[in-house]
Amino acid sequence: MIDLSLVSDGGIGWLDASGPESHLVLSTRVRLARNLAGRPFPVRSAESDREDILASVRDATGTATILGPATLVRLDRLARLDRQLLHERHLVSKELAVPDADTTPRSGSAVLLGGPLGVMVNEEDHLRVQGLYSGLALEAAWGGVGTLDAELAQRLAFAFHPEFGYLTSCPTNVGTGLRASVLIHLPGLVLTKEINKVLQSLVQVGLTFRGLYGEGSEVVGNFFQLSNQTTLGKSESELLDHLAKIVRQVIGYEEQARQVLLRDAPGVIEDKVWRAYGLLRYARSLSFEETMNLLSGVRLGVGLGLIPDVGMYTLNKALVFTQPAHLSAMAGTELAEDELPVRRADFVRRTLEL
């Protein structure tokens, strides 16, 4: 099995709840899509092209001081379970790691990991320069990713068009190539049924929302990923400032909704969050979806000060480590589908006992 202890923070630094607004915002991700000039994009490239690209990127990252000593993981040479583990840990996209159940990633697919920063290689674009940080940390994430991009640009010739900007495989990413996402927990807005209004207004101001695992993923556990929809026509800082401003507004709405719940239905809320805690604390079998929803309830209880003594880090860790590849990794063997609910309940119980 893959040893993630080789990565400087084990690839879980973003879970430690140390960032700003960690009671509501789990993580902030910023990524830049880049391609090397003079080479077809990965979907149309030959195996030799992709190997050359990987070699060039690896050399360039070797001298990138902000990345530090990075760990190279070749996804095309990794077992499916290990690839899934990296995806569950939000370190690589689904497309790069587990395109679908029976397909192995295209040759040359790799990720370079160094603390919160990393580079996915030969995904949809040659490079996806990315950073994943705890809490609402758009400035810190852009600081890291922007610096890494600038360092790589000293060594690599990127495909760039004077009018359209950085060229990408999908024209929805052209221009800055920047996508910034904030993973935020909004149970108050869901319970007060205000969430649809908020989501609709996000779309009107040029943002988009997705589930826990990005594009195409469903919303589970009341977690929403808010991100910029367009990448061209505005500078990186304009895109980031706009997202930050709107996220702050959404945080304000969520906090208002929570106050409304406490004012109008304190008994119901208190019962709901403690029931969630009770189930997680004592259940002997839990599905992933049920776990996500119960963790959402407990997280709300902690946020409202109703449940003491449970840390956000514990709850964040439970979100990631209750997924199939993580449970298998902890068991040291690939678990069958019907073994997962029992193992999951065991893990949650042990985690909450601490």
Partner 1 sequence: MSDEKVLCDQCGEREVAVRVTHVVDGEAREVKLCDRCAAERGIQTSTTVSQTPLGGFLHALWKTADPGPADAAGTGPCPGCGATFADFRESGRLGCAECYVTFEGQLRILIRRYHGSTHHHGRRHIGPADTGQPPDDLARGLREQLRIAVSAENFELAAELRDRLKELER
Which residues sit at the interface with partner 1, rule CB under 8 A?
A: 35-41, 43-44, 52, 56, 59-60, 62-63, 124, 146, 149-150, 153-167, 169-172, 174-176, 178, 203-204, 206, 208-209, 229-236, 238
Of 199 and 298, which CB lies nearer to partner 1 in the complex structure? 199
CA distance readout (Å), 40 to 53, 65, 124, 162, 332: 10, 28, 11, 19, 40
Residues 154-162: contacts with CB within 8 Å, 24+ apart? 154/60, 155/59, 155/60, 155/63, 156/34, 156/36, 156/56, 156/57, 156/60, 156/127, 157/36, 157/37, 157/38, 158/34, 158/35, 158/36, 158/37, 159/34, 159/35, 159/36, 159/37, 159/38, 160/37
Task: Provide the minimum distance between the beta carbon of 279 and partner 1 in the complex, in angstroms, as a whole number.
Answer: 33
Q: Give Cα 322 distance to the centre of its chain.
A: 16
Q: Burial of 20 by CB count in 10 Å (0-12 exposed, 13-18 middle, 19+ buried)? A: middle
Q: How near is the Cβ of 98 to partner 1 at its closest, in Å? A: 19
If we measure between CA atoms, which residue out of 313, 277, 321 comes closest to residue 295? Answer: 277
Minimal distance in Å, beta carbon 4 to partner 1?
A: 27
Q: Cβ closer to partner 1: 7 or 156?
A: 156
Q: How far is the CB of 147 from partner 1 (least distance, A)?
A: 12
For partner 1, which is the closer residue by CB, 177 or 324?
A: 177
**φ, ψ for residue 35 (rounded to 5)?**
-130, 150
CA-based torsion, 329, 83, 320, 341: positive or negative: negative
User: What's the distance, CA 121 to chain centroid?
Assistant: 17
Facing residues of 121 across strands? Answer: 110, 127
Closer of 101 and 154 to partner 1 (Cβ): 154
Smallest gap from residue 16 Cβ to partner 1 (A): 30
Choice between 234 and 281, CB closer to partner 1 = 234
In whole angstroms, how close is the CB of 286 to partner 1 at the nearest point? 31
Position 327, amino acid: L
Element (H, E) at 179: strand 178-185
174 vs 310, beta carbon nearer partner 1: 174
Least separation in angstroms between residue 326's CB and partner 1 is 29
Measured from the CB atom, the residue of 5 and 172 that comes closer to partner 1 is 172
